[in-house]
A and B are shown apart, each in its own frame.
Chain A
Amino acid sequence: MSKVTYREAMRQAIREALTRDDRAFLMGEDVGRYGGCYAVSLGLLEEFGPERIRDTPLSESAFVGAGIGAALGGMRPIVEIMTVNFSLLALDQIVNNAATLSYMSGGQFNVPLVIRMTTGAGRQLAAQHSHSLEGWYAHVPGLRALAPATLEDARGMLWPAIQDPDPVIIFEHGTLYNVEGELSDDAGPVDINTAAIRRPGDDVTIITYGGTLRTGLGAAEQLAGSGVSAEVIDLRCLRPLDTATIVSSVARTHRAVIVDEGWRTGSLSAEVSARIMEEVFYDLDAPVARVCSAEVPMPYAKHLEDAAIPQVADVLAAVQMLGG
């Protein structure tokens, strides 16, 4: 075991990808000489050289599209976009090309592209650097959307994503990069299909992903103190959703709270809630509850930002409302 940060785990994953697969390369804004906007790729330019650690101009649409073209041409590109907000500048390429080319070509072409981007609030970066738009991408057929919330997933999701023949988007919550913990020295690839039960429990299922896993675990810890046994699910893979893990848990606990840093309206939490209704409605003892971000552009001031995003207290209040 070694002590590593989420950032270092991700760097190890990129290093593994470039070492094991000659076709893999990283490109994006400031990934090279600067060392990565969040220092994820620090040192990799010196290790792999400028052909494989490629700094790009501030041209999201062109370099994401170039990633698609390079993937079509036999490479395994890893494209880094600084934040999910900036990814909107490349939305055309992601939605109209990466997600469609296999289908539109009748299966003749595929796009083995990985796009990594930072997501989420909590760093006082205001309304153009802080949103959680994972649900938008999880809406689109042809994409796989991943949200590594743990060191193991930060370390292990990239390799299977690169080996996936189709486009994969990895959402890295910005508040996780500095999280430090023990990671096994032989940590490696993980499954990218299923949700994980991060804490087993019997009375209520708290469903989280990415940045909200900590919130859910924090709430579960406090609930345990008051005699409520909460099960915490980390969705991990936002598309395709692992419905089976969600509904089998809720069928046991009979109550569900979904914690989603996205806006409530049309959110991923709405999709999860709908699936619970569709599959285990008669097992529910209470309506599904949701804890989402306030429907505001993310504010700068810390007290306002805290009020806008899901907190442990909000989850506790939601659980209390479920009764039982």
Chain B
Amino acid sequence: MTGATAAGGGGAEPAGGPTGEKDHGIHLLQQMLRIRRFEERCAELYSHSLIRGFLHLDIGEEACAVGVIDTLSPDDAVVATYREHGHALARGISMRAAMAELEGKVEGCSRGRGGSMHLFDAATRFYGGNAIVGGGLPIAVGLALADHLQGRRAVTACFFGDGAVAEGEFHESMNLAALWHLPVLFCCENNLYAMGTALDRSESETDLSLKAAGYRVPSWEVDGMDVLAVEDSARSAVETVRAGGGPHFLELRTYRFRAHSMYDPDRYRDKAEIEQWKQRDPIPLLTERLTATGVLAEGDLERIEGEVGAEVDDAVAFAEAGTYEATEDLERFVTSEPVRAGEGS
């Protein structure tokens, strides 16, 4: 087992997923590398003013998105926050569509209307990209309610940060999901800071699993730097939720290596703390484990890096070759058009 502990009635340790399989381990590594290299390129493009607005990078937190989303099925739904590039890529939004969105092009996954904080994709049931902290939780409850009312056995995975725990919508949503026994997997990516405010400076109770327990929601505290631990816990939780076990709560203990956004001078964190967390970088952590177990052979990492680098290059080229939506279309989609791709139409 990989470091997950259950609290609040979560039951036994989660059953292992297919993490011993060679291809699967490499798949997880590749997914995390795709996010890492994508985000690094975003930072570069931002410094060249090709990406503007707020840009929140997922670097350091890749294991959370990859580990959870890998356990979902295509019929499941994902609700994420403004730090959602990793979740979008892990869910299957193409790097091209994501990068084009960041560059404000009509080929982007939100036609250039959303930008970094509002990636959407109906095909993969990816419901954003919500930039109001806590604002996605009620929507996740509603998506799960729709699944319940229509007899679908889908799970809605809802990502949010530790900052959201201070919002009333967190508490209202946890209560409502538990009261109505809805299939929501609440995934709290606890990176210890709500923008610049440390958890212990904003919460009287910093043990987040206790908050979940207060609503009778089974919770799991998970090492969010260990993708295998995340995946194991998520797989078990998703299975339970899908089987009718009601909402579950994963506290994914993670850390962002970069500042909150490109505007953030990062004055509020101790450099030593950052360095200490970088020792637990999820990518080397998995690389070393896969190497030690012989899953990753010599040359594999270089090959994967080559593939990922080529994909990022291709996405950037696609975005830069993209077009801007005609300003005549500025008012399109404020309200619906007759033919819709969304399932709510």
Q: Which residues on A are within 8 Å of B, measured CB to CB?
A: 25, 51, 56-57, 59, 61-75, 77, 92-93, 96-97, 101-112, 141-142, 144, 165-166
Q: Which of A65, A74, A92 has the most CB of B within 10 A?
A: A65
A93 touches B143 (CB 8 A): no
Determine which of B120, B176, B336, B345 lies in contact with A59 in the assembled complex, contact meaning CB atoms within 8 Å: B176
Given contact pairs A56-B176, A62-B172, A74-B343, a sample of 8 additional A-B residue pairs in the complex whose CB atoms are under 8 Å apart: A51-B149, A65-B135, A70-B149, A72-B127, A73-B143, A104-B128, A141-B334, A165-B344
B130-146: CB near A (< 8 Å → 1, else 0) gives 10100101111111111
The answer to whether B175 has its CB under 8 Å from any CB of chain A is yes
Chain A nearest CB, measured from B99 CB (Å): 15
B111 touches A107 (CB 8 A): yes
In the A-B complex, the 9 residue pairs with the smallest Cβ-Cβ separation, listed nearest first, are: A69-B142, A65-B138, A73-B146, A106-B111, A62-B172, A105-B120, A66-B142, A59-B172, A107-B333
Residues of A within 8 Å of B62, CB to CB, are: none
Residues of B within 8 Å of A61, CB to CB, are: 138, 168-169, 172
Chain B nearest CB, measured from A241 CB (Å): 15
Residues of A within 8 Å of B77, CB to CB, are: 73
B335 touches A142 (CB 8 A): yes
The answer to whether B337 has its CB under 8 Å from any CB of chain A is yes
How many Å lie between the Cα of A166 and that of B338 in the bound state?
11
Residues of B within 8 Å of A63, CB to CB, are: 138, 172, 176
Q: Quick one: closest A residue to B120, CB to CB?
A: A105
A69 touches B139 (CB 8 A): yes
Residues of B within 8 Å of A74, CB to CB, are: 146, 150, 343-344
Residues of A within 8 Å of B149, CB to CB, are: 25, 51, 70, 75
B105-139: CB near A (< 8 Å → 1, else 0) gives 00011111110001011100001111010010111
How many Å lie between the Cα of A112 and that of B143 in the bound state?
13
Chain A nearest CB, measured from B90 CB (Å): 19
| Residues of B156-201 contacting chain A, CB below 8 A | 156, 168-169, 172-173, 175-176, 179
B127 touches A109 (CB 8 A): yes
Q: Which residues on B are within 8 Å of A, measured CB to CB?
A: 77, 108-114, 118, 120-122, 127-130, 132, 135, 137-147, 149-150, 156, 168-169, 172-173, 175-176, 179, 332-337, 340-345
How many Å lie between the Cα of A109 and that of B169 in the bound state?
22
How many Å lie between the Cα of A109 and that of B113 in the bound state?
13
Determine which of A72, A93, A96 lies in contact with B146 in the assembled complex, contact meaning CB atoms within 8 Å: A72
Residues of A within 8 Å of B140, CB to CB, are: 69
A107 touches B337 (CB 8 A): yes
**Contact (A166, B150) CB under 8 Å given A72-B127, A104-B120:** no
A92 touches B135 (CB 8 A): yes
Residues of B within 8 Å of A106, CB to CB, are: 108-114, 120, 333
Q: Quick one: closest A residue to B110, CB to CB?
A: A106
Residues of B within 8 Å of A51, CB to CB, are: 149
B345 touches A165 (CB 8 A): yes
Q: Quick one: closest B residue to A59, CB to CB?
A: B172
Chain A nearest CB, measured from B112 CB (Å): 8
B135 touches A97 (CB 8 A): yes
Q: Which of A67, A96, A165, A166 has the most CB of B within 10 A?
A: A165
Q: Quick one: closest A residue to B335, CB to CB?
A: A166
Q: Quick one: closest A residue to B121, CB to CB?
A: A108
How many Å lie between the Cα of A75 and that of B145 in the bound state?
9
**Contact (A65, B141) CB under 8 Å given A74-B146, A106-B110, A108-B120:** yes
How many Å lie between the Cα of A62 and that of B134 in the bound state?
10
Residues of B within 8 Å of A77, CB to CB, are: 142
Chain A nearest CB, measured from B94 CB (Å): 14
A72 touches B145 (CB 8 A): no
B336 touches A57 (CB 8 A): no
> Can you list 5 A-B contacts with CB-CB less than 8 angstroms, sorted by A residue number?
A62-B175, A69-B143, A70-B143, A97-B139, A106-B114
B145 touches A110 (CB 8 A): no
A107 touches B138 (CB 8 A): no
Q: Which of B149, B173, B332 has the most CB of A within 10 A?
A: B149
**Contact (A105, B128) CB under 8 Å given A72-B143, A74-B150, A166-B335:** yes
Residues of B within 8 Å of A112, CB to CB, are: 344-345
Residues of A within 8 Å of B175, CB to CB, are: 57, 59, 62
How many Å lie between the Cα of A201 and that of B343 in the bound state?
47
Chain A nearest CB, measured from B138 CB (Å): 2
Q: Quick one: closest B residue to A106, CB to CB?
A: B111
A69 touches B141 (CB 8 A): yes
**Contact (A71, B169) CB under 8 Å given A104-B113, A107-B337:** no
